[in-house]
Chain A
Amino acid sequence: MPLVAGIDCGSGFTKAVVAAQDSPGGELRILGRGRARSGINVDQAAEDALIQALAGNPKSDLNYIAATGFGRYSLSFRDIAITEITTAARGAYFLFPQPGAVLDIGSQTTRAIAVKEQGRVSSFKSNDKCAAGSGMFIARAAKYLEVPLEHVGELSMNAAHPQPISSICAVLAESEIINHVSSGVGVDDILRGIHDSLADRAGALLKRVGLQKELTFIGGVAHQQGMVRALEQRLHVKVKVAEDCEYVCALGAALLGLRRLASRN
């Protein structure tokens, strides 16, 4: 039975998914997932993530390795490199099998993808030049608000009076945020303000690729319920979040890996 790994070499984290499928089109079994800080040595990070994902199976059992994400070409032990947009679409479609918009917010990039049947990409827009729309923005804010990243989500969920962030720059926003703190604005309201501004930026991208009633939200930031709530309220859409949302690209890569393998033999 073919064993395939999808490895997402993201700018912040490297994620691996190992999957198996006895016959093409047959039922898919996820053996495991793994995640490691990317750092600079892509192979090393991938190795670490892969070991976790193999869940005990020897690496030699792998029949095919599909690399995706920003560092895909730096991964030496790959059979194929696929862009994170293609894999995001595939992974998302596998989890929620219907066409529509997919939003992927990672450490440094925000992407809006329009997905059609079989998880094909019909169009996409991305922002990777400015931190103001990225997970990094939140990660930093969380740092100097002294909130663990894991708690950012529910804190911002409970915000009673979200505090708008006027600055369009993640850095200039910081002094704004500090002023809010010192004038006694609650941390939850501030975090929600950040989520709102992120949601607006994401909205601009999503509109360009076409946004209907529903939206699939992936990438690490999708862990943050506050962000989900912000998207729903600002964009008036229903937001579907995959559990293990930051593994979606790795999953998509694994899926495409299986197809290549099938078409090979």
Chain B
Amino acid sequence: MRIAAGVDVGSTQTKAVLAGANGDGISILARSLIDTGANVRKAAERAFDECCRQAGVTQGDVGFVVGTGYGRYNISFGHTQMTEISCHARGAHFLCPGTRTVIDMGGQDAKAIGVGPSGEVLDFVMNDKCAAGTGRFLANAAEVMGVGLDDIGPLSLRGTRPVKIATVCTVFVESDILSYLSQGKRPEDIMQGVHLAIAKRTLSLARRVNIEPLITMTGGVARNVGMVHALETVLGQKVVVSPDAQFMGAVGAALFSLEKMGESFESSVWREHAVSSRN
């Protein structure tokens, strides 16, 4: 069986996936997730090692590695790089067949991707200059409220009278929340307000691409049930979430790796790509 890897070096967390292909199709062999931290290069290596360990293979067994995410050019062992946009589309197409729209909410950016019938990117928009409405916004809110990341989602679901969050600035939201707390508002209502605010913000951006079903949410924030629910509320449509949502970029990268292995390495674009990335 052919083994290939995808490594998604995100701003916040680094994800690696090993995928294998044999006669009866493609399967995910291992996945690993670590905080990116300051040393991007190291993070990528650690994530990759961890994957190989899980799968019980050596790096030598891995035929091809595609790097993606904002830190993709820092991956020393990658054969080539691809944008997270292509990878998320590819991954979603594979794990959630029929996907036409991908909404990726990561640590520091949010994207919407229009996906074609064969998993190709039709169109996309991203917010990467302002942390408003990203995972970071939520993480901040959670911190101010003294709630763990895993709990904010469930908490917000319990809200009944969501508060109105005026600001979208990740910094100023603190003071909003604090004043609501001291006004005696219930944490679940505040959290629901926060989630809805982000959902609105994200969708106003996402609507620049034609949002069509099937809508798949990817990225770490997809692990937040409250956010998924908020998106569905604002959209008025169902949103699909794969258990591997946060790994979607890495999965897509791994799939591309397999495709690369399936063809000769002479394809000039890939070469040039790999070279240009080093300098």
Do the two chains touch directly in the complex (Cβ atoms below 8 Å apart)? yes
Chain B: interface secondary structure? Answer: loop
Contact status of A172 and B38, CB under 8 A, knowing A11-B175, A40-B179, A40-B182: no
| In the complex, per-residue mask of B46-89: 1 if CB is within 8 Å of any chain A CB, else 0 | 00000000000000000000000000000000000000000000
Pair A179/B38 contact, Cβ less than 8 Å: yes
Q: Complex: how many Å from CA A131 to CA B170?
A: 8
Residues in chain A near residue B136, CB distance under 8 A:
171
Residues in chain A near residue B169, CB distance under 8 A:
129-131
* Interface residues in B24-49 (C-beta closer than 8 Å to A): 37-39
* Interface residues in A95-126 (C-beta closer than 8 Å to B): 108
- Asked if A39 CB lies within 8 Å of chain B CBs, one says yes
* Interface residues in A6-53 (C-beta closer than 8 Å to B): 11, 39-41
Pair B129/A168 contact, Cβ less than 8 Å: yes
- Asked if A181 CB lies within 8 Å of chain B CBs, one says yes
The minimal Cβ–Cβ distance linking B201 to chain A, given in whole angstroms, is 13
- Asked if A201 CB lies within 8 Å of chain B CBs, one says no
Pair B182/A108 contact, Cβ less than 8 Å: no
The minimal Cβ–Cβ distance linking B186 to chain A, given in whole angstroms, is 16
| In the complex, per-residue mask of A156-174: 1 if CB is within 8 Å of any chain B CB, else 0 | 0000000000001111100
Pair B171/A170 contact, Cβ less than 8 Å: yes
Pair A178/B38 contact, Cβ less than 8 Å: yes
Q: Complex: how many Å from CA A172 to CA B132?
A: 10
Q: Which of A41, A175, A182 has the most CB of B within 10 A?
A: A175
Pair B108/A171 contact, Cβ less than 8 Å: yes
* Interface residues in A132-164 (C-beta closer than 8 Å to B): 134, 136-137, 140
- Asked if B264 CB lies within 8 Å of chain A CBs, one says no
Q: Which of A136, A169, A182, A183 has the most CB of B within 10 A?
A: A169
Pair B129/A169 contact, Cβ less than 8 Å: yes
Pair A171/B171 contact, Cβ less than 8 Å: yes
The minimal Cβ–Cβ distance linking A166 to chain B, given in whole angstroms, is 11
Residues in chain B near residue A11, CB distance under 8 A:
175
In the complex, the chain B residue whose C-beta lies closest to that of A11 is B175
Contact status of A136 and B179, CB under 8 A, knowing A172-B131, A175-B108, A179-B38: no
A-B contact pairs, 7 of them (CB 8 A): A40-B179, A108-B172, A131-B171, A134-B171, A168-B129, A172-B108, A179-B38
- Asked if B275 CB lies within 8 Å of chain A CBs, one says no
The minimal Cβ–Cβ distance linking A38 to chain B, given in whole angstroms, is 9
- Asked if B130 CB lies within 8 Å of chain A CBs, one says yes
The minimal Cβ–Cβ distance linking B46 to chain A, given in whole angstroms, is 15
Residues in chain B near residue A140, CB distance under 8 A:
171
In the complex, the chain B residue whose C-beta lies closest to that of A181 is B38
Q: Which of B37, B140, B175 has the most CB of A within 10 A?
A: B175
The minimal Cβ–Cβ distance linking A43 to chain B, given in whole angstroms, is 14
| In the complex, per-residue mask of B169-200: 1 if CB is within 8 Å of any chain A CB, else 0 | 11110010011001100000000000000000
Residues in chain A near residue B131, CB distance under 8 A:
169, 171-172
Using a CB–CB distance below 8 Å, which chain A residues touch chain B? 11, 39-41, 108, 129-131, 134, 136-137, 140, 168-172, 175, 178-179, 181-183
Q: Complex: how many Å from CA A232 to CA B24?
A: 69
In the complex, the chain A residue whose C-beta lies closest to that of B107 is A175
Q: Complex: how many Å from CA A130 to CA B172?
A: 8
Q: Complex: how many Å from CA A131 to CA B167?
A: 11
- Asked if B11 CB lies within 8 Å of chain A CBs, one says yes
Residues in chain B near residue A136, CB distance under 8 A:
171-172
Q: Complex: how many Å from CA A232 to CA B39?
A: 35
Q: Which 9 A-B pairs have the closest CB atoms?
A: A182-B38, A131-B171, A171-B131, A40-B179, A171-B170, A40-B182, A179-B38, A131-B169, A169-B130
Contact status of A182 and B39, CB under 8 A, knowing A172-B131, A175-B11: yes
In the complex, the chain B residue whose C-beta lies closest to that of A131 is B171
Residues in chain B near residue A41, CB distance under 8 A:
182
Pair B108/A131 contact, Cβ less than 8 Å: no
Contacts A131-B171, A175-B108 supplied; 9 other A-B pairs, CB < 8 Å? A40-B179, A108-B175, A129-B167, A131-B169, A171-B108, A178-B38, A181-B38, A182-B37, A183-B38
In the complex, the chain B residue whose C-beta lies closest to that of A140 is B171
Residues in chain A near residue B171, CB distance under 8 A:
131, 134, 136-137, 140, 170-171
| In the complex, per-residue mask of B107-137: 1 if CB is within 8 Å of any chain A CB, else 0 | 0100000000000000000000111000010
Q: Complex: how many Å from CA A140 to CA B140?
A: 12
Q: Which of B38, B131, B170 has the most CB of A within 10 A?
A: B131
Residues in chain A near residue B37, CB distance under 8 A:
182
Residues in chain A near residue B11, CB distance under 8 A:
175
Q: Complex: how many Å from CA A73 to CA B182?
A: 19
Residues in chain A near residue B172, CB distance under 8 A:
108, 131, 136
